[in-house]
């Protein structure tokens, strides 16, 4: 049911016809009712106290509760809350698959263990970009605007320099930036 509900959530798009929007709304209501029934049966089966002992049940409850809050978006818009931004809560249902799959749970644990190393590597990359942004400002700060350099892509300010180097580190037009700075 989680997979099917995710497929229905992915069918929404800009400019959707009224008929398809009604079908998706009805299906979303069906899935919310299904997940509320599932949670209610778990509370009855486990008992109220033991239900809250399991962390996945807490997660399920929060997702289902927030889905219930977002079902009727008109009252949220009356309060000035952007209801379309809250629709992302519905996608959190997909995380419920983690508790079912041992391999997904193992992969998630591995990612959590590796987060410290990933964070350290990201800080090292930030330090390198910081250092070379300052060097780029010193060497190419007076680079004239042209084919690859404009008001957003240049070494004139630290901010622009950082983003230009980040863009180059992702592989986007690094060779044309290199040729323009080489000619300067």
Query: What is the rounded distance in angstroms from the CA atom of residue 55 to the CA atom of residue 73?
Result: 28
In a domain? residue 105: no
Residues 74 and 120 reside in one and the same domain: no
Residues 34 and 73 reside in one and the same domain: yes
In a domain? residue 6: yes
Query: Whole-number mean pLDDT of the chain?
Result: 84
Residue 148 sits in which domain range? 116-183
Residues 7 and 70 reside in one and the same domain: yes
* 30: CATH: 1.20.120.350
**For range 99-104, the mean pLDDT:** 80
State residue 85's pLDDT score. Answer: 63
- Of 67, 100, 133, the residue at which a domain comes to its end is 100
State residue 177's pLDDT score. Answer: 81
- Of 42, 75, 100, the residue at which a domain comes to its end is 100
pLDDT in tens, 143-171: 887 777 888 888 889 999 999 999 989 98
If one counts the domains in the chain, the total is: 2
- Of 75, 100, 125, the residue at which a domain comes to its end is 100
State residue 120's pLDDT score. Answer: 94
Residues 30 and 95 reside in one and the same domain: yes
Residues 96 and 138 reside in one and the same domain: no
In a domain? residue 111: no
In a domain? residue 107: no
Residues 22 and 96 reside in one and the same domain: yes
pLDDT in tens, 23-66: 988 888 898 899 899 989 999 999 988 999 988 888 888 888 88
State residue 86's pLDDT score. Answer: 65
Higher-confidence position of 70 and 174: 174
């Amino acid at each position: 049911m989680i997979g099917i509900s995710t497929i229905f959530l992915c069918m929404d798009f800009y400019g959707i016809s009224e008929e398809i929007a009604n079908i998706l709304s009805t299906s979303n209501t069906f899935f919310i009712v299904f997940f509320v029934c599932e949670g209610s049966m778990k509370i009855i089966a486990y008992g109220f106290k033991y239900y809250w002992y399991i962390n996945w049940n807490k997660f399920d409850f929060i997702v289902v509760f927030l889905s219930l809050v977002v079902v009727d978006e008109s009252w949220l818009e009356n309060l000035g809350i952007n209801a379309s931004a809250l629709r992302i809560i519905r996608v959190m249902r997909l995380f419920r698959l983690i508790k079912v799959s041992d391999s997904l749970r193992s992969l998630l644990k591995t990612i959590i263990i590796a987060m410290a190393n990933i964070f350290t590597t990201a800080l090292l990359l930030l330090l390198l970009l910081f250092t070379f942004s300052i060097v780029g400002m010193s060497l190419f700060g007076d680079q004239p605007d042209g084919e690859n350099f404009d008001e957003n892509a240049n070494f004139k300010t630290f901010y622009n320099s950082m983003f230009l180097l980040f863009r180059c580190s992702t592989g986007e037009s690094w060779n044309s930036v290199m040729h323009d700075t080489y000619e300067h």
